[in-house]
Amino acid sequence: MDSSIQIRLIDFLRSVTGQQDITASTDLLDSGLLDSLTMMDLLVFVESEFELRLDFQDIKPELFKSPETIARLIASRLSDQGQSEAA
């Protein structure tokens, strides 16, 4: 896994939530850190920071559970984009 994706996500989440103790495994949903407004900010950040468009089916609680799961989603979509651009 590309740890730079996780670091960028954690830095962003710390800046929008004000919580400095967020780690890769922090449960964003159970902790209440990822409310609807923060989720919208996060989606805009992901799309602009990683030049990635997420589909509606990507917006699932299990994919946005923690910075680690979000980073996996981003890495997967970036890999998919790379493969389609190479074809």
Is the domain covering 1-81 a CATH 1.10.1200.10 domain? yes
Q: What is the pLDDT of residue 71?
A: 96
DSSP single-letter state for residue 61: G
Residue-averaged pLDDT of the chain: 91
Would you list the domain boundaries of the chain?
1-81
Q: What is the pLDDT of residue 1?
A: 58
List Cβ neighbours of 17 (8 Å cut-off, separation of 6 or more).
33, 38
Band of residue 56 on the pLDDT scale cut at 50, 70, 90: confident
Per-residue pLDDT of 7-48, as tens digits, reads 999 999 999 999 999 999 999 999 999 999 999 999 999 999
List Cβ neighbours of 27 (8 Å cut-off, separation of 6 or more).
65, 66
Per-residue pLDDT of 64-73, as tens digits, reads 999 999 999 9
